[in-house]
Amino acid sequence: MTEAPMGPQSKERKSNIIREGKRRLVALPDDFFLEGNEIIIRQEKDGIITIHPAEEAARKAMWSRFNPFADWSE
């Protein structure tokens, strides 16, 4: 019997870049979740881009949602 993995799993999807003047917008697939109204975008020297919530409340909400130990009682 195979047990289901605990906690969130990494995922990868292709998406589109939408050009709007000098801006480029990225369409997030429906199965990706992001809390809050503002984000922080970081691009590494190797080109990898990461996105995470800018607001502390949004970061805490996402941590609660994805924390694999949240359901453990003390």
Q: Do 17 and 26 form a contact (C-beta atoms < 8 A)?
A: yes
| pLDDT score at 5 | 58
Q: Per residue in 48-68, is it b (16+ CB within 10 Å) or e — as a string?
A: eeeeebeeeebeeebeeeeee
User: Tens of pLDDT along 12-55?
Assistant: 888 899 999 999 998 888 888 888 899 999 999 999 998 888 99
| pLDDT score at 40 | 93
Contacts of residue 33, defined as CB under 8 A and 6 or more positions apart, other chains included, come to: 62, 65
**What span, in angstroms and rounded, lies between the C-alpha atoms of 47 and 30?**
24
Q: For residue 17, list its beta bridge partners.
A: 26
